[in-house]
Structure 1
Amino acid sequence: MATIRTEAAMEHPETQTVELAALDLAALLCSRVCHDIISPVGAINNGLEVLDEENSEEMKTFALDLIRKSARQASAKLQFARLAFGAAGSAGAEIDLSDAEKVARGYMEGEKASFDWIAPRALMPKNQVKLVLNLVLLAVAAVPRGGSITVTIEGEPKNPSFTLHCSGPTARIPHAFERLVPGEIGEVPVDAHAVQPYYAGLLARACGMTVAAVFAGVDVVITALPKA
């Protein structure tokens, strides 16, 4: 998978806080979305090939079930990406948290971990909503073998705090989290996987929030809190 470093990072390999060029960031986020979509779209194509080649009614039923399931997954992942990475309205727009919950639950139906969402019914500035959805993706990375993820949103809608409790076998803090979230990418190759914590850090700074991940026993807790 292609990786990208900034020119500053190549000239000075020591850890430093720098930002990816806009074109590089856009390319990596597009790669991240494509990574999520390619599997269900490929399964749809496989199902269509079975329909074309098989005469068995049992195999045709299997193929149709595969196509339906994969189409739902592709749609759910695209709807999630639209809120998590897309413009989601004009500058200063607000998003209903129930919409965020809906796309998050749809996305998680295709993942190994169970999912719970605890939040008030409220409108929230779009960047905060984008941040919590991107933290959901980091929570998925924290429990690669499955388990459970609980998202809790508290506080005033314009000054919220987010807590994501990640429980599962071999729960772990995502790779290079402590460097990528603050934007310290001098020694970290940034690819379509590494861009996730980096982008979450960009969103957090835009929202005036700080993101952290710690172990709570064998579980991982990811938080986003307003800066003091």
Structure 2
Amino acid sequence: MNNTTSVDLAALLCSRLCHDLLSPVGALNNGLELLADEKDPEMRARCMELLEQSARTSADKLKFFRLAYGAAGGFGEYVEVAEPKALIEALVADKKRIEVQWALADAKLPKNAVKVLLNFAHIAIDALVRGGTLDIGAEMRDGASEIVVRAAGPKIAFDDTIGKALEGRLPESELSSRTAPAHMIALLAEQAGGGLQYKRSDEALVLGAVLPQPEGMIG
């Protein structure tokens, strides 16, 4: 990837992050305006509840995107699986119609594998527009991280351009803020000598990844 494309991808990822944060941050602003004008104690208490909820949602999303998109310098080469698990569970906390089921075989995963896991989960959550089940599995086997995320529900919403980006088939000239995360993890997989794939039906979306570990990390 050349420098220009790197800058473009970073800009698209920033656009996606801003889009996802706009709602909770906007709710914070609206809540503060209401609180400033409200005199009724009961309504002020309600405003405070909404402010706390919006602040918590904003913080959860920032933590999620820090590890899903960013360098996440606070982590080493491996990340405890409890970290992405908590981030994903926080992301679906207000989506009462989505049930998450876990199958995590190892206590830690390489950082790039965690990035793929988080981005897969985000794509799958977006696909469950009417709710459903989110199955997330990951393990390290034969020198590689294997990740599977399955979203199953009554209606799956999935843009095929995201699928093309996951498989490295979307031209860079056609990238958007919606497809940039998929393109980013496709590049991570390519650099690791692995790959991503997906399969979609009317009732389910399955995302899979195999990411070989560098020799120095295989232990």
Q: TM-score, normalised by structure 1?
A: 0.81
Aligned-pair distance for 1:147? 1.7
Distance in 2, matches of 1:70 and 1:158, equals 41
Deviation string 1:80-111 (CA, Å, 9 cap, x unpaired) is 11111111238972211111211121222244
Over the matched positions of the two proteins, sequence identity in percent amounts to 31
* Runs of 4+ residues deviating >4 angstroms: 17-20
Structure 2 CA distance for partners of 1:184 and 1:215, relative to 1, 3 Å:
closer
Task: Give me the whole-angstrom Cα distance separating, in 2, the residues matched to 1:90 and 1:42.
Answer: 28
Structure with more relative contact order (C-alpha pairs < 8 Å, separation 6 or more) = 1
**Superposed counterparts of 1:80-119, under 5 Å:** 80-89=64-73, 93-111=77-95, 113-119=98-104
How has the CA–CA distance of structure 1 residues 152 and 86 changed in structure 2, closer, same or farther, with 3 Å as cutoff? same
Partner Cα separation in structure 1 for residue 124 and residue 2 of structure 2: 25
Deviates more, 1:183-192 or 1:78-87: 183-192
**1:76 partnered with 2:60:** yes
1:200 aligns with 2:185: yes
Q: Which moved more, 1:70-79 or 1:164-173?
A: 164-173
1:172 Cα deviation from its structure 2 partner: 4.0
Question: In the TM superposition, what are the counterparts of 1:168-179 in structure 2 within 5 Å?
Answer: 168-179=153-164
| Distance change (3 Å), C-alpha of 1:154 and 1:47 | same
2:51 to 67, 72, 82: 67
AA at the equivalent of 1:24: D
Contact persistence 1:18–1:186 (CA under 8 A): no
Partner of 1:26: 10
Distance in 2, matches of 1:189 and 1:53, equals: 46
Contact 2:69/2:181 (<8 A) preserved: no
Q: 2:38 aligns with which of 54, 57, 63?
A: 54
Q: Deviations over 1:150-189 (max 9, x none)?
A: 1011333951211111011211443313321233333873
Whole-angstrom distance in 1 between the partners of 2:5 and 2:143: 29
- TM-score after normalising by structure 2: 0.84
1:138, 1:174 within 8 Å by CA — same for their partners in 2?
Answer: no
Instruction: Write the mapping of 1:4-43 to structure 2, written as runs, cut at 5 A.
Output: 21-43=5-27
How far, CA to CA, are the matches of 1:25 and 1:107 in structure 2? 24
Deviation of 1:127 after TM superposition, in Å, equals 0.9
> Which ranges of structure 1 fall in alignment gaps of 5 or more residues?
1-16
Segment of structure 1 superposing worse, 186-195 or 46-55: 186-195
Cα gap change, 1:20 to 1:91, in 2 (>3 Å): farther
Q: CA RMSD for the aligned pairs? A: 2.7
Equivalent residue of 2:160, what SS? Answer: coil
The 3 A distance-change label for structure 1 pair 178 and 18 is farther
Q: Secondary structure at the match of 2:9?
A: helix
1:150 is the counterpart of 2:135 = yes
- Secondary structure in 1 aligned to 2:181? helix
Contact 1:166-1:219 at 8 Å conserved across structures: yes
> How far off is 1:145 after superposition?
2.7
Structure with bigger helix share is 2
